[in-house]
Structure 1
Amino acid sequence: MIELEGLTKRYGEKVAVDDLTFTVRPGIVTGFLGPNGAGKSTTMRMILGLDHPTAGDVRIDGTHYDRLKDPLTYIGALLEAKGAHPGRSAYHHLLCLAQSNGIPTRRVHEVLDAVGLTAVARKKAKGFSLGMGQRLGIAAALLGDPRILMFDEPVNGLDPEGIHWIRTLMKSLAAQGRTVFVSSHLMSEMALTADHLVVIGQGRLLADTSMAEFIERNSRSWVRVRSPQRERLLDVLHQGGITAVESGDGALEVDGSKAEYVGELAARHRLVLHELSPQQASLEEAFMQLTAESVEYHAHTGPPGPPQQWGDGWKRG
């Protein structure tokens, strides 16, 4: 379990992390979301003792990271894909970590096999692709067979097979009762992986809730209904106090009502329905809605105009 209480980090006048309090619990995958510059990486670095908080506290199973004996057996983390020395092979990178943490050599072979790097174990890390570097970083995180795993953007550089593999791995680790804390910008992947979400913006906590509740609270839900008796259906819905709008493809969209009620209403009036389906906005839409005021860098849509439209800050070379 990871516990943060009032965690704060300032760099001069800039507040990178602002009074964060939340708990990452075992047995589930907890997603860590936030716009660029929200303070996610700084928070993770403070959990691992790489950055010292200005105020507040963070504990791993009740203990500060720097007081853990053999820390890799408590918590494994992937923060950077290129964390290995470029002139060292994958095998010797892991062997060095194992020996310095009292981990048996056999474990090196086990994690290399687990992440699919056995065939390139003796190759130097400088020749690894980004995806191979990710796999090596994940192997290092797994090396001590820890109860807590923390991954920062673990799917970067992975192909579809690799993305499916890391998703399955994280779910299986959580199913074993381990604590899994993962940061990612890929909302579609997070929606398939995480059970619980912690969302921050400008260093402050915005949400600490289940995936289902987060989407329900921060996005629109509606019922999509389609019938060959469309005009009569509109009249029936109106009589029942339900407002429906056209979706553009012949279907109707109903806000604020349950699919069961719409179906029962249609059945009472002997209306044929070709479609009756509850709809929910995506995690990405819910995330964008919640964090709209916390985005630090805003880009404009559409192609850039000619230089004279870029503002006074642009100058010719």
Structure 2
Amino acid sequence: MTTSILDIEHLSKSFGHKQVLKDVSFGVQAGHIIGLVGPNGAGKSTIMKAILGLFNYPEGKIMVDGEVVSPTSHQSMDEVGALIEYPGIYPFLTGYQHLHLFSKKTTSDTQVMDIVRKLRMDAYINRKAKTYSLGMKQKLGIALALVNNPRLVILDEPMNGLDPQSNKDLRNLILSYARSGTTFLISSHILSELEKLIDDIVVIDQGQIVYTQSMVTLESGSKKLLAFKTSDDVKASHILAQHGYQLDKSGGVSVIENGQNQMADMINLLTGNGINIEDVQHVHNDLETILLNLLKDDQVKGSK
């Protein structure tokens, strides 16, 4: 039976006359990796800071592992690791000294060095942080969030400044922790990387949650296409339409899949009509396309 480690209920927050969160509610299951996505200024970082008890909120409730979180009540923060915006780094301390400084007494040096190794920080972990590049500082911030083996980890734009190999190392590390039961709430604009990680998605727009669902459900509802490249695309499209195949309007010869094994039948149909098949591919909407469609639908609803 899955249990919820984070519950946000009817959370609202304003800064001055600007309301940045409006009746935000969602839950996070233990051991899941959740993507919190939306446009710039939608309220993602504000939600994360509220979870960490960094400011008061006039309405709503936040509970981490069954305990209420606020600036005056944050016992459950002992089980939470976080990287919000840019990591707070002391320039004259080494990376190792940072990790030692923020480690609990129960965190062994073996645990610390295991994270260092997995993030490939060995070569510079004993250098002063003032010599670190942006990517090195980012990896140190991620290591600080993970060093005490927290049950819930909150990461705001963790891929910032990371090269492709470092992104892969981070992805493997997050998946490894999640398999051991750690829960992640991750906000990132690099949706191609986020898509490889997350179990569930929460979409926020203009301070309101507009969609929350598992990735399996989201992807199952997205459009899947068979895209053909032929010797005569115009004729191929006409023949397929005549035989009842539903063509996508995105251009080219793109047929909407209906879950049946259509490819062989369509190839036979086209070649039987003198059309050569040069290429055929399965195409599905990526997370960026799905997100843009969700936000577009939300804006249309909001304008009515």
TM-score by length of 2: 0.82
Question: Which of 7, 19, 40 in structure 2 is aligned with 1:36?
Answer: 40
CA distances 1:54-100 after superposition (whole Å, capped 9, x unpaired): 2111111111343426x44x1111114331222322222222222xx
Residues paired across the two proteins, number:
288
State the partner residue of 1:253: 254
C-alpha distance in 2 between matches for 1:210 and 1:41: 21
Q: 5 Å matches for 1:1-317?
A: 1-65=5-69, 66-68=73-75, 71-72=77-78, 74-98=79-103, 101-106=104-109, 107-215=111-219, 217=221, 220-226=223-229, 233-234=236-237, 236-244=239-247, 252-255=253-256, 257-258=258-259, 260-261=261-262, 263-264=264-265, 267=268, 271=272, 274=277, 275-292=279-296
C-alpha distance in 2 between matches for 1:261 and 1:155: 39
Checking the alignment, whether the CA contact within 8 Å between 2:92 and 2:129 is kept in structure 1 is yes
Q: 3-state SS of the aligned residue for 1:171?
A: helix
| CA displacement at 1:207 relative to structure 2 | 1.1
Output the aligned Cα RMSD: 3.0
Q: 3-state SS of the aligned residue for 1:260?
A: coil
C-alpha distance in 2 between matches for 1:202 and 1:143: 34
C-alpha distance in 2 between matches for 1:233 and 1:292: 32
C-alpha distance in 1 between matches for 2:282 and 2:113: 48
State the partner residue of 2:302: none
TM-score by length of 1: 0.79
Between 190-199 and 258-267, the greater mean CA deviation after superposition: 258-267
Whichever residue aligns with residue 97 of structure 2, its letter is H
Whichever residue aligns with residue 240 of structure 1, its letter is H
Unaligned segments of structure 1, at least 5 residues: 296-317
Whichever residue aligns with residue 88 of structure 2, its letter is G
| CA displacement at 1:231 relative to structure 2 | 7.3
Whichever residue aligns with residue 261 of structure 2, its letter is E
| CA displacement at 1:121 relative to structure 2 | 2.9
C-alpha distance in 2 between matches for 1:128 and 1:269: 59
| CA displacement at 1:240 relative to structure 2 | 2.8
| CA displacement at 1:265 relative to structure 2 | 5.9
C-alpha distance in 2 between matches for 1:292 and 1:244: 22
Alpha carbons of structure 1 residues 255 and 294: separation in structure 2 relative to 1, 3 Å: closer
C-alpha distance in 2 between matches for 1:6 and 1:182: 21
Alpha carbons of structure 1 residues 45 and 266: separation in structure 2 relative to 1, 3 Å: same
C-alpha distance in 1 between matches for 2:206 and 2:298: 6
Larger radius of gyration: 1
Checking the alignment, whether the CA contact within 8 Å between 2:13 and 2:57 is kept in structure 1 is yes
C-alpha distance in 1 between matches for 2:35 and 2:100: 30
C-alpha distance in 1 between matches for 2:276 and 2:130: 60
C-alpha distance in 2 between matches for 1:46 and 1:142: 20
Alpha carbons of structure 1 residues 45 and 237: separation in structure 2 relative to 1, 3 Å: same
C-alpha distance in 2 between matches for 1:238 and 1:80: 51
C-alpha distance in 2 between matches for 1:185 and 1:269: 41
